[in-house]
Structure 1
Amino acid sequence: MTMAGNLRKVTGLGRGGGLRRVARLARRRPRVDLSHPARSPLGSSVVNCVTYRDGVRTPQGGDPVDAVERMRERGAGFVWLGLHEPTDQEFAGVADPFDLHPLAVEDAIEAHQRPKVERYGETLFAVFKTVCYVEHEELTATSEVVSTGEIMVFVGQDFVITVRHGRHGSLGPLREGLESDPAQLAKGPSAVLHAIADHVVDEFLSVIEAVQADIDHVETEVFGEHGARVDPGRVYQLKRELLELRRAVVPLGRPLEELATRPIRVVEPEIQAYFRDVADHLLRATEQIAAFDELLNSILQAHLARVTVAQNEDMRKITAWAAIVAVPTMVCGVYGMNFDHMPELGWRYGYGLVIGVIVVACLSLHRGFRRSGWL
């Protein structure tokens, strides 16, 4: 079956039956992000399918499949097909005409992959982990701080296929930015791959900045007046969320280095310089995450130290008061014994003398403990 026939299965619009089928599928599945008014779903998982020639979006009058055929006949331009969480059946109509490798297709459908770059013949397959900062009014021991998703990218000589997983990481604004710069978009599919990588890394830096605000807030509370009462679970939660962020950021270093240094047929040599810039930004993000992890360790140790100091202060206070109370307890215990012959038992002023001795002894001990800082 030709590429046109397969794409018609996925993008069959313009016919009444196809439109009704798309509407039914759209009601079953959550709606995807369609930020551009000219964009409309081409299927249950297809977000957009656009052809570009000389960096300019081609007119949308006509069937998208016909536009793809005309583009390949002329031998210029490329197709950008965007998908959102496709199923096996939905992706089958796309994999065959673009000659996508079955292993890459399996990874794109199942998701939950590590960031990587793989080459399958004339096609490059890249996986990016996307991150999103989850807004919260107050950080607790169970707060979600970082949410992750994935973007898979297939890059060929005349096509780019993006597969997005997760409810964030929309590529609508990215597409609009590229369309406003035809000179960059005219460099081909590798320019789109660079824009996606740059967009993902910029989101890393934005999330890191937001996480830093949470860390600064916890640090201020730990070193505040009531720092010993801060819940350590909040620090542990930040460390767990930082680990999730690390899993998205750190593994991307080697794929970006490969894109920036190794010759790849579908990546223009001119674009490789742009990948080096993205790799520099990723290195900064990696260093910041490592610094945050060390800072959280220090905050946790400082919190435990403050708890220990507070407990020692409480124990000193308890010990001091126990010593003060021990004086009247001892005197009263001695004079409470039932013996007939005890000193001062028959003396008129004996009771007052004993009470006076107790008061003086207690006041002396209290003053001594105050001077030493125990009270």
Structure 2
Amino acid sequence: MTDTRPGTPPGPPAGPPLPATRPAGVPRRAGTRPAGADAIVDCAVYVDGRREPPVDPGDALAAAAERGGFVWLGLFEPTEAELGRIAERYGLHPLAVEDAVYAHQRPKLERYDDDLFMVLKTARYVEHEELTATSEVVDTGEVMVFLGSNYVITVRHGEHGDLAELRRRMEEEQHDLLCLGPAAVLYAVADLVVDTFVEVVAAVQDDVDELEASVFSPERTDDIGRLYQLKRELMSLRRAVAPLEVPLQKLAERQVDVVPGAMRSYFRDVQDHAIRVRDQLGGLDELLSSILQASLARTTMADNEDMRKISAWAGIIAVPTAIAGIYGMNFEFMPELEWRYGYPMVLLVIVTACVLLYRGFKRNGWL
């Protein structure tokens, strides 16, 4: 691993070179970066919590080492070649670089010698007028963070999770936090990601409440498809939140060279928020399961009610059908064929029997 202590120029990266081609079976996330746009979103050197005058990204690491500060290099969907050049300069581990290029990673924390590589899943609530069986509710992205003694590199994938506002807020309002070094940026990014989870869960809660009201409304509705879709979207969000607890626990409890002891309480606070979000997601998932069971039960009851009504009307219609069938057999010797009042009497019997059956079914709740 490259020695990046102040005053020591960066050397060549350790380990094998960055792979020149994409590994078989590893898809690259569909890019959203505009054609021709630079992968470097921002690059700055911070000394004593203050942003230094602009420096060329190629000279930023040396300038930070000389001045006793650190570099914050922000990247957006870099290509393999772009990140490969940065990896050579900063001495990034090839395996971490490969993960950062191809994305599709679960939240994790990896340690390479004295440096750290952390993957965080970002999430965004997708606004929609009405939840349908095909609605996209949660959109996820990724933020990777390379952390060294005097540098922090953030790699963002996806249309959301922009860190420009976070950087501006830290530069203007959180100088004391920036004085704690690169680990402060890692904390700020993790805190932003988890706070976004809180907002997304609150928005999903509104969808759950709307579905619950629809399922238990007096009107007959078919919500099974919508319930299943929301459970799928909730599962996607849980995959982004649940694995984050272990990396945050490591940062909060273990001694890590590039994470000052003063930063542990900060990461512990983020861990508490992540656990709270995880519990909220678990509660929403259980509630959705209960609502889904209630919807299935209500559908079954409605089907049974329809079958009772159909059976009741079939029973009523069977009476005149049977009588008409008997007298339609054209036998010569049948009761009351020659009686003057036979026909009205048969009609009266049919009407009386149908009325009695209707009242009986009505009394039993079949009609």
TM-score relative to the length of structure 1: 0.87
Unaligned runs of 5+ in 2: 1-8, 14-30
- Structure 1 residue 329 displacement after superposition: 1.1
> Are residues 1:266 and 2:269 paired?
no
- Structure 1 residue 273 displacement after superposition: 0.5
- Structure 1 residue 66 displacement after superposition: 4.8
Matches within 5 A, 1:316-355: 316-355=308-347
> Are residues 1:285 and 2:277 paired?
yes
Question: In the alignment, which residue of structure 1 is the partner of 2:202?
Answer: 209
**Post-superposition CA distance 1:8-38 (Å, at most 9, x none):** xxxxxxxxxxxxxxxxxxxx98349xxxxxx
Counterpart of 1:157 (choices 149, 155, 166) is: 149
Question: In the alignment, which residue of structure 2 is the partner of 1:22?
Answer: none
Aligned letter for 2:306? D
In 1: Cα distance, 2:106 partner to 2:60 partner: 35
Cα RMSD, aligned residues only: 2.1
In 2: Cα distance, 1:29 partner to 1:47 partner: 14
> Are residues 1:249 and 2:252 paired?
no
SS in 1 for 2:90: coil
Matches within 5 A, 1:56-71: 56-60=50-54, 63-66=56-59, 68-71=61-64
In 1: Cα distance, 2:266 partner to 2:253 partner: 11
Question: In the alignment, which residue of structure 1 is the partner of 2:46?
Answer: 52
- Structure 1 residue 333 displacement after superposition: 1.4
- Structure 1 residue 71 displacement after superposition: 3.0
Counterpart of 1:30 (choices 33, 55, 64) is: 33
Question: In the alignment, which residue of structure 2 is the partner of 1:199?
Answer: 192
Contact persistence 2:12–2:91 (CA under 8 A): no
**Post-superposition CA distance 1:66-122 (Å, at most 9, x none):** 554333223x21110001111121112211221111111111111111111111112
- Structure 1 residue 290 displacement after superposition: 1.1
Identify if the C-alpha distance between structure 1 residues 332 and 63 changes in structure 2 by more than 3 Å, giving closer, same or farther. Answer: closer
SS in 1 for 2:160: coil
**Post-superposition CA distance 1:261-295 (Å, at most 9, x none):** 00000001111001111111111111111111111
Aligned letter for 2:42? N
Identify if the C-alpha distance between structure 1 residues 83 and 4 changes in structure 2 by more than 3 Å, giving closer, same or farther. Answer: farther
Aligned letter for 1:93? R
**Post-superposition CA distance 1:112-137 (Å, at most 9, x none):** 11111111112111110111111111
Question: In the alignment, which residue of structure 1 is the partner of 2:182?
Answer: 189
Count of aligned positions? 341
Matches within 5 A, 1:107-186: 107-179=99-171, 180-186=173-179
- Fraction of identical pairs, as percent: 57
> Are residues 1:93 and 2:93 paired?
no
Aligned letter for 2:321? T
Contact persistence 1:4–1:65 (CA under 8 A): no
TM-score relative to the length of structure 2: 0.88
Unaligned runs of 5+ in 1: 7-27, 33-40
In 2: Cα distance, 1:350 partner to 1:324 partner: 22
Identify if the C-alpha distance between structure 1 residues 86 and 204 changes in structure 2 by more than 3 Å, giving closer, same or farther. Answer: same
- Structure 1 residue 65 displacement after superposition: 4.5
**Post-superposition CA distance 1:224-259 (Å, at most 9, x none):** 1224x3241111111111111111111111101101
**Post-superposition CA distance 1:324-373 (Å, at most 9, x none):** 11111111112122222222111111111111111111111111111111
Contact persistence 1:153–1:162 (CA under 8 A): yes
SS in 1 for 2:225: helix
In 1: Cα distance, 2:56 partner to 2:323 partner: 104
